[in-house]
């Protein structure tokens, strides 16, 4: 695609030129691209999120499955599923990084377009659903802390997880069906193509905003507000430090969820209004979607590497496990360094001896 220069006149010319190249609002909504600097920035962010997300979520899986086998709880089961969804999600980022580096030209074929798009969307839904389930579970577990129902909790957590995964799969169905590689302005792009383009694409994005942000955000907010009220009423006079810690934790959780996803869904909602002709489409929409929207996508993707930090490393038990693991790794590295040093010293000591022995063997006898 054509590149713009840094001047405002160049930006206007580029915008107007690019607008003429697309056949519909649907094409512009998907294929608008930014400057090379922006594409490099997106690729770097995707790479960092992928690396941090892989390590962070693998640590969560290790701590919960290996280190806490005896301590099973509903919240840990949801954290485990959340780590699985985020782990699968970050595995798709290298594909999107390549797509971005190639100016949003999809090089992997139609089948991979459907697979990667479906995995991305399904794990986006699953991640949000499990975050919501965890907020409800935290309130419910505190409110009913006097009752011991370990077996029922474990069983119900499994069934709830099944329902959430099935719901995420159903919500992903339109993506699996209508994702395809389409030739736009001479380039192959991986995008959604509905039979009645603008209207059904608007409906698709609208339901995604409602079920992946508005409803989960409302449930998360209500659950944590009720949790804070419950804790303050019960422990204000006895444990103010504990109340302060919970308040801080809840604030971080809600703000991270809101700040990571709100900008992306806000611009998406603007696009919905444009497609439904409720708002006029103009150059400002194109510029925002070209230069701001990709950054909001990066911010939303960053949530996948923030979740392990928020839901695990903020908990004292997981921090202790991480310290123990790092200490064990340090001891292992130290031992390997010692062994390597010993081996090198041994080689250094043996070589002079071998050399002197060879010299003696090769030296002629004195009587010859």
SS (HEC) of 297-349:
HHHHHHHHHHHHHHHHHCCHHHHHHHHHHHHHHHHHHHHHHHHHHHHHHHHHH
Phi then psi for residue 180, to 5 deg, are: -160, 160
Q: Positive or negative CA dihedral for 109, 111, 112, 113?
A: positive
pLDDT the model gives residue 322: 66
CA 322 – CA 314 distance, rounded (Å): 11
For residue 72, being part of any structural domain is answered with yes
Which tens digits make up the pLDDT trace of 343-352? 666 665 655 5
CB-CB contact of 32 with 281 (8 Å)? no
Helix (H, G, I), strand (E, B) or coil at 280: coil
Q: Within 179-239, where are the H helices?
A: 197-209, 215-235
- Residues 110, 181: contact at Cβ < 8 Å? yes
**What is d(CA 344, CA 310) in angstroms, rounded to the nearest whole number?**
44
Indicate whether 352 belongs to any domain: no
Query: Using CA atoms, how far apart are residues 113 and 363, in angstroms rounded to an integer?
Result: 74
Residue 292 within a domain: yes
Q: Is residue 264 part of a domain?
A: yes
What lies within 8 Å, CB to CB, of 163 at 6+ separation is none
Backbone torsions φ then ψ of 187, nearest 5 degrees = -125, 145
Give the separation between CA 24 and CA 196, rounded to whole angstroms: 12
The answer to whether 190 and 27 are in contact (CB under 8 A) is no
Q: 3-class DSSP state for residue 186? A: coil
pLDDT digit string, tens, across residues 266-290:
999 999 998 888 888 888 888 888 8
298 Rama sector, left if φ>0, alpha if ψ -120 to 50, beta otherwise: alpha
Q: Token pair for residue 142?
A: 């505190």
Name every residue whose Cβ is closer than 8 Å to that of residue 264 and which is 6 or more positions away in sequence: 293, 296, 297, 299, 300
**Distance set, CA 185 to CA 21, 157, 191 (Å):** 6, 49, 14
Which residue range forms the structural domain that includes residue 17? 8-314
Which pLDDT score is estimated for 367?
47
Indicate whether 127 belongs to any domain: yes
If one counts the domains in the chain, the total is 1
Please give the pLDDT value at position 357: 47
Separation CA 163–CA 118 (nearest Å):
18
- 53: domain CATH number? 1.20.1070.10
- What is the C-alpha end-to-end distance of the chain, expressed in Å? 86
Answer whether residue 344 is part of any domain: no
pLDDT tens per residue across all 368 residues of the chain? 433 333 333 333 333 334 433 334 444 454 445 578 888 999 999 999 999 889 888 888 887 776 655 556 788 888 889 989 999 999 999 999 999 888 888 999 999 999 999 999 999 999 999 989 988 888 887 777 644 554 444 458 889 999 999 999 999 999 999 999 988 878 888 988 888 768 888 999 999 999 999 999 999 999 888 888 887 777 555 556 666 666 677 778 788 888 999 999 999 999 999 888 888 888 888 888 888 888 899 899 888 888 877 776 666 666 676 677 666 766 676 666 667 666 666 665 655 554 454 545 555 554 44
Question: Closest Cα partner for 309 from 260, 242, 256, 261?
Answer: 256
Q: Is residue 191 part of a domain?
A: yes
Q: Which residue has tokens 């713009």?
A: 4
Q: What angle do CA 201, 87, 47 make, to 5 degrees?
A: 80
pTM: 0.76
Domain presence at residue 325: no
Match 């790092």 to its residue by tokens: 326
Q: What distance in Å separates the CA atoms of residue 101 and residue 42, rounded to the nearest whole number?
A: 9
């Amino acid at each position: 695609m054509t590149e713009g220069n840094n001047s405002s006149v160049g930006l206007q010319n580029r915008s107007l030129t690019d607008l003429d190249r697309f056949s519909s609002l649907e094409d512009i909504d998907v294929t608008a691209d930014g400057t090379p600097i922006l594409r490099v920035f997106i690729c770097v962010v995707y790479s960092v999120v992928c690396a941090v997300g892989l390590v962070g979520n693998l640590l969560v899986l290790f701590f919960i499955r290996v280190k806490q086998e005896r301590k099973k709880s509903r919240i840990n089961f949801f954290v485990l599923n959340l780590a699985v969804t985020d782990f699968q999600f970050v595995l798709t980022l290298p594909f999107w990084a390549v797509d971005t580096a190639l100016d949003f030209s999809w090089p992997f074929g139609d089948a991979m377009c459907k697979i990667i798009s479906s995995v991305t969307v399904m794990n986006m839904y699953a991640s949000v659903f499990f975050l919501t389930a965890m907020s409800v579970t935290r309130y419910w577990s505190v409110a009913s802390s006097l009752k011991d129902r370990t077996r029922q909790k474990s069983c119900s957590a499994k069934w709830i997880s099944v329902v959430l995964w099935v719901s995420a799969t159903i919500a992903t169905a339109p993506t699996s069906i209508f994702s395809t590689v389409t030739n736009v302005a001479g380039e192959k792009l991986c995008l959604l193509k509905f039979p009645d383009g603008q209207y059904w694409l608007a409906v698709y994005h609208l339901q995604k905003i409602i079920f992946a942000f508005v409803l989960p955000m409302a449930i998360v907010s209500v659950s944590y507000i009720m949790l804070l009220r419950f804790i303050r009423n019960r422990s204000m006079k006895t444990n103010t430090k504990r109340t302060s810690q919970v308040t801080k934790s809840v604030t971080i959780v809600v703000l991270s969820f809101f700040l990571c996803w709100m900008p992306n869904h806000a611009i998406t909602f603007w696009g919905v209004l444009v497609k439904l002709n409720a708002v006029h489409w103009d150059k400002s929409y194109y510029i925002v979607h070209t230069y701001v929207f990709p950054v909001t996508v990066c911010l939303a993707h960053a949530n996948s590497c923030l979740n392990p930090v928020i839901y695990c490393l903020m908990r004292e038990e997981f921090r202790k496990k991480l310290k123990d693991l790092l200490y064990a790794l340090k001891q292992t590295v130290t031992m390997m360094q010692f062994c390597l040093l010993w081996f090198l010293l041994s080689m250094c000591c043996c070589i002079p001896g071998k050399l002197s022995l060879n010299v003696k063997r090769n030296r002629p006898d004195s009587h010859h």
